[in-house]
A and B are shown apart, each in its own frame.
Chain A
Amino acid sequence: MLTYEPDESLAHRLDPRAKLAVQIGFAATALAHTTPRALIAFSVLTAVAMATARLSLRRTLVSYRLALVVLALAPLLAGVTVGPPWFDRLAAVASGLASYRVLLILLVSAAYVRSTPVRHSRAAIQRTIPGKPGQLLGVGVALVFRFLPVLRGDLRTIREAMAARLGTERSVVDRASTVGMLGVTRAFDRADRLSLALRARCFAWNPTLPALAFSRVDYPVLGLAVVLAVSAFY
């Protein structure tokens, strides 16, 4: 599973804002170009990004397996025609090149995921998005990270309890609505306790954030992000 892993790589030492900027710039330019020459350049950049985060290609591809199936199916589907010549090679190649750039975008973002802990991402969100929306988004993301394992446990408990009562023999609609209703009821119970706890602890619009500061290595990375973003227009 693709997730943050503590390490000492160059990507781990970079400021999260610089890394986010590079991803946005890369995605912008990759979406604008699908020529083979551009794709070779993008492949090199992707390899560099993965190397700086010490990302394993095999494990990353496994974690994007669902996307890989779609990306592999798309060129085949694009090439199939109803009637002669039965397979349109040009359409298949165009779609194949387009699919490949999507894979590169996914790999570059995987480098960020492996090298950035959530508290850095949260600080980057709250410092980049101004005012109350930024605060709510930052705190909210931290809460989603915190509550995911809890609600995962809730859902599993619900499913097991249903199975123990022969719930698996009931209709699909019945099962889906039971899990959905119980899941949301439990989630809202937890949320109401959480809001009480937040108020008791003086939940404020201006909490103290972890320190973030650009270091010398961040400036070239930020420059690269700008170059990539601008290259989308050429």
Chain B
Amino acid sequence: MATDQHSVELVDDDVVKPFARAAVLAALMAATVFVGSIPIPFSPISISLGVIVVYLAGLYLGPYWGAFSLLLYLTAGAVGLPVFAERAAGLGVLVGDSAGYLWSYPIAALLIGAVVHWRSETGDPADLSRPALVVTLLTALTVIYLLGAAWLGYVLELSTVKALELGVVPFIPGDLIKIAAVVAIVEAGRITT
């Protein structure tokens, strides 16, 4: 058994706070699969809250801790916490059909966090104008769709058009609603960074 013989090296205070927030937000992301989704009127698809947490992680935790939070979510799922869609778990999901979407989450959070840090001195997403916020979120959604559909097409040997039909088109209405919800959350300004 390997035991660490060095003296205790405390974690700095400015790491503990964002780390705790990243870990708890990863747990929130995980919890969204257990708590039913919201049905959309006149549509067979209902919206899960998962991707909303991806956007919020980027907006309120910044590029590094936001991406770290989603990596924690992916790692917890890979080692057996049933947190992927429909309570699936396992390393296989991270190379399976939906792997492109899952791996795009930390990238999307990194992208959103980078824009917030670039446009705001204090790192507060409420400083962003509404058009800037909407464009940022739509760009992140595009990254999620592109990586998701590209991997879906590769791993299931589908053509580009068919991968888009199966993996993007059905989700567009729900994802636009989620972006509207995130804009409303940021503009309400009740979450402190």
Contact = CB atoms under 8 A, between A and B. Distances in A.
Note whether A and B form a binding pair: yes
Contact of A148 (B10, B31, B56): B31
Contact of A3 (B19, B53, B78, B80): B80
Interface stretch (B114-122, B136-144, B179-187): B179-187
B156 to A, nearest CB: 4
Nearest to A183: B28
Given A151-B27, A172-B41, A204-B8, A95 B156 contact: yes
Interface of B is mostly: helix
Contacts of B92: 23, 27, 102, 105-110
A177 interface: yes
Contacts of B180: 173, 177
A74 to B, nearest CB: 4
A145 B81 contact: yes
Interface of B: 1-4, 6, 8-11, 13, 16-17, 19-28, 30-32, 34-36, 38, 40-41, 47, 49, 52-53, 56, 60, 68, 71-73, 75-76, 78-83, 85-93, 95-98, 152, 155-159, 162, 165-166, 177-178, 180-182, 184-185, 188, 190-192
Contact of A137 (B72, B185, B191): B72
Given A31-B95, A67-B93, A206-B6, 16 more contacts: A2-B89, A67-B96, A107-B92, A121-B80, A140-B23, A144-B27, A144-B76, A145-B81, A147-B27, A148-B81, A173-B184, A180-B182, A181-B188, A191-B23, A191-B25, A203-B10
Contacts, number: 278
B77 to A, nearest CB: 9
A27 B35 contact: no
A225 interface: no
A141 B80 CA distance: 10
A223 B19 CA distance: 37
A207 B27 CA distance: 22
A121 B166 contact: no
Contacts of A109: 78, 90-93
B28 A187 contact: yes
A140 B89 contact: no
20 contacts: A2-B82, A3-B80, A34-B157, A63-B86, A63-B87, A67-B96, A102-B155, A106-B92, A112-B80, A118-B80, A141-B72, A143-B20, A144-B26, A151-B31, A152-B35, A172-B38, A180-B56, A192-B21, A198-B11, A212-B1
Contact of B68 (A73, A136, A152): A136
Contacts of B185: 177, 180-181, 184
Given A113-B90, A145-B81, A27 B95 contact: yes
